[in-house]
Structure 1
Amino acid sequence: MSQGRIKTAVLVAGSWGTAIASVLADNGHEVWLWTRNESQAAEINASHRNSRFLSDAVLSPSIRSTVSMEEAAKDAAAVFIVAPSSAMREVAASIRPHLGKDTLVVHATKGFEIGSLKRMSEVIAEELPAYDPRRIVVLSGPSHAEEVIRRCPTTIVVAADELAAAESAQDLLINSDFRVYTNDDVVGVEVGGALKNIIALGAGLSDGLGFGDNAKAALLTRGLAEITRLGMAMGGDPMTFSGLAGIGDLVVTCTSRHSRNWRAGSMLAQGLSLEEVLSRLGMVVEGVRTTQAAYRLAMQYKITMPITAELHRVLFEGKDPKTAVEDLMERDRKHEN
């Protein structure tokens, strides 16, 4: 792929999609940012702001927003799908008529499809049957949109079975503020990016209950063990979980108030119901759906995931968060490794 100015499309105009659009605009590319919301598109085009998701940011005037999928995706050399996991199948299907055979497809969604338990690249591959699935790129790593949009130093990873596709994505995105590594472990990068949101919910719960840094350090460490255990069972490379999509993303999501998963856990610790938490946040909290998926995947692969299991009981079975933590601490004694 040429490194000159090309047309790119970003779907959809949430916080992370808007941040990726800004990186592409900084690199001199033509950027179309798709949204279903006409008033949001009008605001982005007229005032260069996305007030719902990134209220303090002024966007590049070279970012154009549209509610037309055809206008956004037709003739685009690269399409970045940043839809919630629940909408991935629909969005992927909607670009099918407008996708060229050589278009680069990148997704930056961290989750599973609940019904099928499929990873996002698998969902995309099913909806784009004429597209080579080896060229589907996944973008992940420690990257809060609120910091990327301010051009804070950020390092991420792009992975594809065909390394040349990952390198094309790297070429499009990399700059002095946004460093991009490549990887060929699609499974590991997707699993690590999805499962860290579960542990971030637990970190928010722990902080909200006032359990301190010792407890959170243990939660991250044992959480990483769970992520690695399931990721390896699904075919991921264990080294991936020691990298940006594993421990890197885990640390940033579990320790930052930018993290909506951390905030959701903290609000649950204050006694709010899950429905109240999601209503107050007003944005997708992927860790909730991912907890459902991981709980089922753990049973499918016969993997022990005690933190995930306790969070599932808190979220969906009404268990008291403090009791859940106490039950984790009182599990039978074990060897660490």
Structure 2
Amino acid sequence: MKHEQFSGDPHLACARRYQRAAVIGAGSWGTALAATLARAGVETTLWGRDLAVINAINSQSMNTRHLPDVALPGTLRGSHDMAEALKDAEVALLVVPSRGVRAVSRLVAAHAPEAMPIAVCAKGIEADTGLLMAQVAKEELGDRPIGCVSGPTFARETALGHPTAATVAFPFAYTDRLHPEESPAARLALSLTTESFRAYVSDDLVGVEIGGAVKNVIAIACGMMTGAGFAENTRAALITRGLDEMKVLAETVGGRRETVTGLSGIGDLALTCSSTTSRNMALGQQLGQGLARADCFEGRAVVVEGEVNAKSVTDLARRLRISMPICETVRSILHDGVDIGVAFAALWSRPIEAEPRGMDVAFDHPSSDKDIATLAERIS
């Protein structure tokens, strides 16, 4: 069998690509990942529910609904049949909205081989359970190795072959540490790597997933303040303090703070908070401009992951008794009906704290109620 190599790292010198992969979910991101695998030389099947989309992939090498201007590799095959899509696959990527991860994982479990590694490519925290997406999938998929793919990626740019980087994370068992080149994380990272797509390997699945869940909420906050007329200072402050909230949550649930400074944390945060290509940023901007939620996106029913995550993230933080004031602010606006100006003025007038958490000091904010009310009016 041909051996592919990661340059520069002797531990991964003999890592092997998977030969056959299934991508479950034919939306824009699923299609982009499937195209990346196919361009890397992996025999790839893309499963989707929309028969018209699958037929277009097979007949025109195009996803006419989600990426109509992107030419897909001719080797990429679409399937409407889950059993067919998973047949002979060595690895699967689960690329569906977070609310669908549990149900689709259950479908995959009925057809996937028992030892098949599965990477979840949805970002979020399940509302009722407080579980991360890989944990949700694990409940349905049993002993199969479960990981994730996450990073600062817009689907269209990835599908077009723009230089892109992401992290592939799986827990490392003892045997994975002895032979990292045979680990699911290493083999999937190599399988995704092309001349334009660069994958990194992580064993901190929890830390990587926390970054993906929280960044969408912070992006809504950035969008709201941008829509209200504020600019770079405000966004930089929200990104930086949002990163701190991300670190605290990751560390509390067993991840590593350093993971949050990587692609799946600050990388994804910076991307999502800087462009209205992100639906989270776009929603926040429209709300900040004064649109009612029902009128955003021209009245279309657009799924915005951070809207759901604002509640699930803060529910989890409350259970863990940790402070996430930016996420709480977004929740108060989206789910509790608090005025944007009042909510953000309250955020900015919180007690003065030390930035290094180890100092553990706080002082009353010196602004008067009148000053705070003035800021609230400016934001509104």
**What secondary structure does 1:80 align onto?**
strand
Shift of 1:51: 3.0
Residues 107-128 of structure 1, C-alpha deviation per residue, up to 9 Å, x if partnerless? 1111111111111111111111
Aligned residues: 334
The residue aligned with 1:77 is 90
Deviates more, 1:152-161 or 1:320-329: 320-329
**Residue 137 of structure 1: aligned partner:** 147
Distance 1:144 1:182 in 2: 20
Which of 2, 11, 24 does residue 11 from structure 1 map onto?
24
Structure 1 counterpart of 2:341: 322
Partners of 1:331 and 1:122 lie apart in 2 by: 34
Q: Which residue of 2 aligns with 1:199?
A: 218
- Relative to structure 2, which stretch is displaced further, 22-31 or 1-10? 1-10
Please tell me whether residue 62 in structure 1 is matched to residue 75 in structure 2.
Answer: yes
Match of 2:99 in 1: 86
* Residue 281 of structure 1, CA deviation: 5.5
Q: Is 1:219 matched up with 2:232?
A: no
- The match for 2:229 among 210, 214, 220 is 210
Conserved 8 A contact 1:146-1:258: no
Cα displacement (A) at 1:212? 0.7
Q: Which runs of 4+ in 1 moved over 6 A?
A: none
Contact 2:150 2:264 in 1 (8 A): yes
Matched to 1:97, the amino acid is A
Which residues of 2 match residues 13-28 of structure 1 at below 5 A?
A: 13-28=26-41
Q: Which whole-Å CA distance do the structure 1 matches of 2:255 and 2:17 have between them?
A: 34
Determine if contact 1:88/1:123 at 8 Å carries over to the other structure. Answer: yes
Aligned residue number for residue 239 of structure 1? 258
Aligned equivalents of 1:224, 1:281: Cα separation in 2: 31
Deviations 1:116-173 (A, max 9, x none): 11111111111112x24xx312111111112111111111111111251111111211
Q: Which residue, out of 317, 322, 337, partners 1:298?
A: 317
| Long gaps (5+) in structure 2 | 4-15, 177-182, 357-380
3-state SS, counterpart of residue 182 of structure 1: strand
CA distance in 2: counterparts of 1:156 and 1:48, whole angstroms: 25
Deviation at 1:96, TM superposition (A): 1.2
Distance 1:44 1:280 in 2: 29
Aligned partner of residue 93 in structure 2, secondary structure = strand
d(CA) in 2 for partners of 1:93 and 1:64?
23
1:151 to 158, 161, 169: 161
Q: CA 1:126–1:268 in 2, change beyond 3 Å: closer, same or farther? A: same
- TM-score, scaled to structure 1: 0.94
Matched, 1:265 2:284: yes
| SS of equivalent to 1:98 | coil
Percent of aligned positions that are identical: 38
Check the 8 A contact 1:137/1:169 in 2, yes or no.
no
Aligned to 2:8: none
Task: Provide the TM-score with structure 2 as the length reference.
Answer: 0.84
1:119 to 92, 113, 132: 132
SS in 1 for 2:353: coil
- Looking at CA atoms only, which structure, 1 or 2, has the larger radius of gyration? 2
Alignment of 1:178-197 (within 5 A): 178-197=197-216
